[in-house]
Structure 1
Amino acid sequence: MSNEDLRASADAVLARLVGDPSGNARLREDQWRAIEALVADRRRALVVQRTGWGKSAVYFVATALLRAAGSGPTVIVSPLLALMRNQVGAAERAGIRARTINSANTEEWDAVQAEVAAGEVDVLLVSPERLNNPDFRDQVLPKLAASTGLLVVDEAHCISDWGHDFRPDYRRLRTMLADLPPGVPVLATTATANARVTADVAEQLGTGESAAEALVLRGPLDRESLSLGVLPLPDAAHRLAWLADHLHELPGSGIVYTLTVAAAEEVTAFLRQRGHTVASYSGKTEDADRRAAEEDLLANRVKALVATSALGMGFDKPDLGFVVHLGSPSSPIAYYQQVGRAGRGVDHAEVLLLPGREDEAIWRYFASLAFPPEEQVRRTLDVLGRADRPLSLPALEPQVELRRSRLETMLKVLDVDGAVRRVRGGWTATGQPWAYDAERYAWVARQREAEQQAMRDYAATSGCRMEFLRRQLDDEAAAPCGRCDNCAGARFTAEVSPASLDAARGELGRPGAEVEPRRMWPTGLAAVGVDLKGRIPAGEQAAPGRALGRLSDIGWGNRLRPLLSPQSADGPVPADVADAVVTVLADWARGPGGWASGAQDAPARPVGVVTVDSRTRPRLVRSLGEHIAATGRMPFLGTVSYTGDGTGHPVPRSNSAQRVRALHGALTVPAPLAESLAAAGGPVLLVDDLADTGWTLAVAARLLRRAGAGGVFPLVLAVQG
């Protein structure tokens, strides 16, 4: 087929894809260049183009042409379910049969794989996590590599640990690339890569071998429909009130991004109270609810989704009219990627950043999840090396001081590096030499710090905001946009109504969050000499408790974070915090199931207050316990203390098993407290400053119940998360 005929066929597929019955749709020249490279020349290509450029059109049109020529199915590695759902719908419009394999459709995997084997599938969308599943990697992946006609890596910046959204599962693609038969084209796409990330992705994907073999298409990143702005407001209450007052003024429907799940839920509840039709969307949202929320936004049945970054790459709504950020992302590249959801198919979309003073604390938290120090990595390799069988994550946790999510990410990196291997039943050490690349990890950490400073600079700049973002992405064509608030003048005032501000203050100032008790001991404790397993006996459990707030809240979280910071000095509980805790206690007592509720099955009223000893804030915790006791007119019974063996050994704030191992035998109920419990003869309030993993409360509650307490109600200042 001549190139002219190929181009005509490509345009015909595009017309079906975009639903153009006239058949007049035409590929842009840069889209055609990519398709020509893939279909006619069977080359590898890296496409770095702005959101809305039409990257999906390239791989769907190429798929149709390659399948018509007898090639095998296209495999698209895609990071998010929202993208997969959008892509399947788009493929069907072009007559392309698309199926997915991801965590949300496990019951369909066997059927999908059978359809692929039978040649009934044109496009298979796979989540990156599947690539490192042992069964998929060993049984399915080799067959896919042997039969695929086109490999597509969508959101390819995820493959680079220099990028803002590095995902170690993506590195497994190197194995698949190595197994591809000669002449199978590869397409990598992203809208959010600076020059360093682009070079790294090219190297990772094997597209950087030579200019003759690889095509790199990098276009200008201006988004002519977007009007960027920043609106500094005094505090969280003003930001919530501003949203309540001005959300209806924003064009069409859109997205309000928050930095945490707790904030997304808070903002959603408040906006609904103020009469707005909004829905929450986060990593904790059930898949069915996510689907419903996406569909409601696509159909403009909601004004906005209040979302975390879980609603990000790939969500495709061409007429999305606005993106508002309630809090600043830590990276200008991540910010550009998220605002790129708006204005794809409309002439004008509003993009507004409402920065908050809690932003940097949240940045620091996520930065703490970076690749672990060498000592912890070596410890993990040593444990795996000495094991006579594969170790699962729960089996590893008691022996490694890392939280599960961080431990799993580290193991995935080590797997790609060849030091460990994921197999059925867990992980094993390969015995291969491995070097800790301290220089690289330090460079990544410095890069993150530079990105954070760039976001501060973005909020403060008096220059063009779009030009600023484009320069952060190394866009050589960056120039003033003429549309942002600095180029064209501010479009929004900071004005909020007294009614909305009062309502926001009331909502954010309302204290109280639930503290869920631990019900099951962590697995694997026997391996470290702790004889606890299974369900915690009902007579040794804590009851559901209460906290003043969550550290990730935009209300009480802003008050509690500095108070509980490791850098803050110990001292008596501040009066406003103490009064708010008393309010929580009163609401708890009168609420459903509370001891003062009058319910027939209500628990007995606490007969005293017990505190948990604190190495870092003893005066704060003691004064809080004594204040609650005095206000509630009940005795202060004493403190669950650390034993002499426990005082010199800090309790690790890592995973559950390590936490229990360190606490077991380190806490004790002193004799005077045990006598007071026996004399009091009823349930007690157990007071502490922070519930992080929840295991200090669980272990202390077990000791108190075994010492005679009729029940234990935890009451803390804050819960993590």
Structure 2
Amino acid sequence: MATRTEAQALLEQLAGPAAHLRDDQWTAIEALVVQRRRALVVQRTGWGKSAVYFIAAKLLRAAGLGPTIIVSPLLALMRNQVAAAERAGVKAATINSGNVTEWNAVHARVTDGELDVLLVSPERLNNPDFRDNVLPALASDAGLVVVDEAHCVSDWGHDFRPDYRRIRTLVADLGSGIPVLATTATANDRVVSDIAAQLEVGGGDTVVLRGGLDRESLRLSVVKAGTPAQRAAWLAGQLDSLPGSGIVYTLTVAQAHDVAGLLRERGHTVAAYTGATDTTEREQLEADLLDNRVKALVATSALGMGFDKPDLGFVVHLGAPSSPIAYYQQVGRAGRATARAEVILLPGTEDQEVWRYFASVAFPPEPLVRNVLAALDVDRPQSTPALEARVDLTRSRLEMVLKVLDVDGAVRRVKGGWLATGQPWRYDEPRYRALDQARRREQQAMLDYQDTDECRMAFLRAQLDDPELSAGERCGRCDNCTGDHYSATVDEATLTATAQRLRRPGVEVAPRKQWPSGLGALGLELSGRISDAASAGRAIGRLTDLGWGARLRRLLAEPDQEVPDEVVDAAVAVLKVWDWASRPVAVMGLDSQTHPLLISSMATRLAQLGRLANLGTLAYAVDHRPVTAANSAYRVAGLHGAFQQPIIDCDGPVLLVDDVTDTGWTLTMAARELRAGGASEVLPFVLAATS
């Protein structure tokens, strides 16, 4: 039988000779290893949840039991956990999207019993080969199953992932006496109840360890510094004064790159880190931050759960997350092993626009979901690309719908795609409505956090239903408790330089090069490479840019108007540095139902300034209907034959002007018409790109 002495020895291997196993950690380990019970651990970041399951895994293996399965959500978390396991002498491996070439070897090590711990991404649980050939053996022989960051199970949590719902099946199929551990740092009462129901870890025989969420090292502050330029300038001026190395969070990928570029130009050693960053580069950037080779990573939420740098000195948010719970999770990266860490929120008025956008791509309404079910067969698998041609959903939303339907039992993933199961399915409209209402409440709470004059730490702890929070409790460290507020004043020279940098226009618009799959099902004989594609284009800015984003959003939201002079000046600046092979000889505007005057006046001004032939407007056909399709195949089908055939009577490239580009398909289909009408090349130019 495992003893506390053995657990203490393993902790010292894991965390160093000074580490001491706390009573509550031993309570969890004893419940799992000795009593073979289930446990739910809701404890603050830095409490030592990973120590509990690695020590339990090692003790169970020493007792002759099977390997521990850890379901873990992020690649950064997995890399850190494998490294931590090796320090404790635990043989660990991971299966995730970043190590595809290693999967077969890892499967073999599982089969041969060589591993103590297998870390699995939730998406992997429903890979047909893994689900059918590897998982059954693990489920029957596992020593322990761990669901890390268990709030992802709950769609009431801040980071719900449909794939996490598949863990219910894994838990249900476990052999008798196999303990289950669910852990999270960010769960209020509602989320805790949902985790317990999903994973069946809330019964009377479950050990529940729910501790206080105060973080004594964190100094929370809010700085209302004004415009995007003012906030970026404030950060550029203050970054060197912040302790150690840290993370600067932004709300969008575009903002992360904008801010990183700005800070580098101001002499700061920083790098951008987003969900679009290559896996190998992510690993290098994480190592650079861990070893203090950068002052900060400017990151989206992709750098979040599980990234472990105990001496992280600060976390700054340039823009507020939509939930206090998500905010607490991200700031929890700081100050794990330091006496003091700075946590600063720089909110902006445009934050709520970003929140609304992300809410708009949530689970779709029932008719669209029913269309997905209707497009599936019960005996012939349909691939995701093939389904795109049959339902009007973007790839990401279609995949989310399929995952939800999968865990609800209405569809099943198999080799070759997806099958309908024929089982009845109910659209849980009351739950989705309640979720929307809950998200709205969280957004309002985040606004309240910015304005409160009460203790900020107590505010966050209350949002998480901290069981140890007392009425009227104050942390004594935040800006409201101490009265020590950061000045929002920005040096004029720094503000001027920052504003000029952010006002610098110009974003490349990549051309579409390949037709979407499944167009044959929509009656179009188009496939493979696009032979008459547009060239790479340019936009003045992105709608999510810190610099041009707000101005472009305002312009596009206002009634149609003549193009403002500042926008023309920005367009000229972009055109001056455009490295085209041949200068355009003509300009043509795209027809628009919302901004015809804006587009035509821009084309006219550019024709005058550049001495280009003004070819007028590429008009839609008389019987054309607005294309509202979200998915690529449907969008192409809707745009095919939608324009009146132009006659291009000039020799050279044509500049094609539009207001905004999202998917790029409107520019692609319009460019085909111009090419067919005689244009040798088409150079798209838009006021704004969505991303």
Judge same fold: TM > 0.5, yes or no.
yes
Q: 1:598 maps to what in 2?
A: none
CA shift for structure 1 position 25: 3.6
The answer as to whether partners of 1:652 and 1:658 remain within 8 angstroms in 2 is no
Q: 1:202 maps to what in 2?
A: 196
Superposition pairs of residues 121-520 of structure 1, within 5 angstroms = 121-208=115-202, 210-211=203-204, 213-385=205-377, 389-478=380-469, 479-520=473-514
Report SS of the residue matched to 1:305.
strand
- Separation in 2 of the partners of 1:685 and 1:15? 66
The answer as to whether partners of 2:152 and 2:159 remain within 8 angstroms in 1 is yes
**Which runs of no fewer than 5 residues in structure 1 stay unpaired?**
595-601
- Separation in 1 of the partners of 2:686 and 2:28? 58
- Separation in 2 of the partners of 1:668 and 1:425? 40
CA shift for structure 1 position 624: 1.4
The answer as to whether partners of 1:19 and 1:93 remain within 8 angstroms in 2 is no
The AA in structure 2 aligned to 1:642 is Y
CA shift for structure 1 position 627: 1.6
Deviates more, 1:608-617 or 1:311-320: 608-617
Decide which of 64, 75, 88 is 1:81's aligned counterpart: 75
Decide which of 66, 70, 93 is 1:72's aligned counterpart: 66
Report SS of the residue matched to 1:446.
helix
Report SS of the residue matched to 1:564.
helix
Q: 1:650 maps to what in 2?
A: 626
Deviates more, 1:231-240 or 1:50-59: 231-240
Q: 1:668 maps to what in 2?
A: 644
Decide which of 48, 55, 62 is 2:42's aligned counterpart: 48
Report SS of the residue matched to 1:713.
strand
The AA in structure 1 aligned to 2:572 is V
The AA in structure 2 aligned to 1:661 is A
- Separation in 1 of the partners of 2:501 and 2:453? 34
- Separation in 2 of the partners of 1:562 and 1:134? 47
Q: 1:13 maps to what in 2?
A: 10
- Separation in 1 of the partners of 2:209 and 2:690? 44
- Separation in 2 of the partners of 1:491 and 1:86? 35
CA shift for structure 1 position 521: 0.8
- Separation in 1 of the partners of 2:420 and 2:626? 30
Instruction: Please tell me the root mean square deviation across aligned C-alpha atoms, in Å.
Output: 1.2
Give CA deviations for 1:491-530 in whole Å, capped at 9, x if unaligned.
4212322232122111100011001111111110000111
- Separation in 2 of the partners of 1:518 and 1:363? 28
The AA in structure 2 aligned to 1:688 is D
The AA in structure 2 aligned to 1:627 is R
- Separation in 2 of the partners of 1:51 and 1:404? 34
CA shift for structure 1 position 535: 0.7
Report SS of the residue matched to 1:644.
coil
The answer as to whether partners of 2:210 and 2:467 remain within 8 angstroms in 1 is no
- Separation in 2 of the partners of 1:142 and 1:563? 57
TM-score w.r.t. the length of structure 1 is 0.94
CA shift for structure 1 position 653: 4.4
CA shift for structure 1 position 686: 0.3
- Alignment of 1:639 with 2:617, yes or no, is yes
Report SS of the residue matched to 2:220.
strand
Decide which of 557, 581, 598 is 1:620's aligned counterpart: 598
CA shift for structure 1 position 118: 1.2
- Separation in 2 of the partners of 1:394 and 1:166? 24
CA shift for structure 1 position 171: 0.7
- Separation in 2 of the partners of 1:26 and 1:515? 55
- Separation in 2 of the partners of 1:471 and 1:169? 29
- Separation in 2 of the partners of 1:348 and 1:26? 22
CA shift for structure 1 position 480: 1.2
- Separation in 2 of the partners of 1:391 and 1:406? 16
The answer as to whether partners of 2:36 and 2:177 remain within 8 angstroms in 1 is yes
The answer as to whether partners of 2:211 and 2:467 remain within 8 angstroms in 1 is no
- Alignment of 1:582 with 2:572, yes or no, is yes
Q: 1:39 maps to what in 2?
A: 33
Moved over 4 A (4+): none
The answer as to whether partners of 2:41 and 2:208 remain within 8 angstroms in 1 is yes
Q: 1:699 maps to what in 2?
A: 669
Identical-residue share of aligned pairs (%): 64
Deviates more, 1:494-503 or 1:248-257: 494-503
Give CA deviations for 1:100-123 in whole Å, capped at 9, x if unaligned.
111111111111111111111101
CA shift for structure 1 position 388: 6.1
Q: 1:597 maps to what in 2?
A: none
Report SS of the residue matched to 2:175.
coil
- Alignment of 1:659 with 2:650, yes or no, is no
- Separation in 2 of the partners of 1:718 and 1:289? 29
CA shift for structure 1 position 711: 1.0
Decide which of 584, 587, 593 is 1:609's aligned counterpart: 587
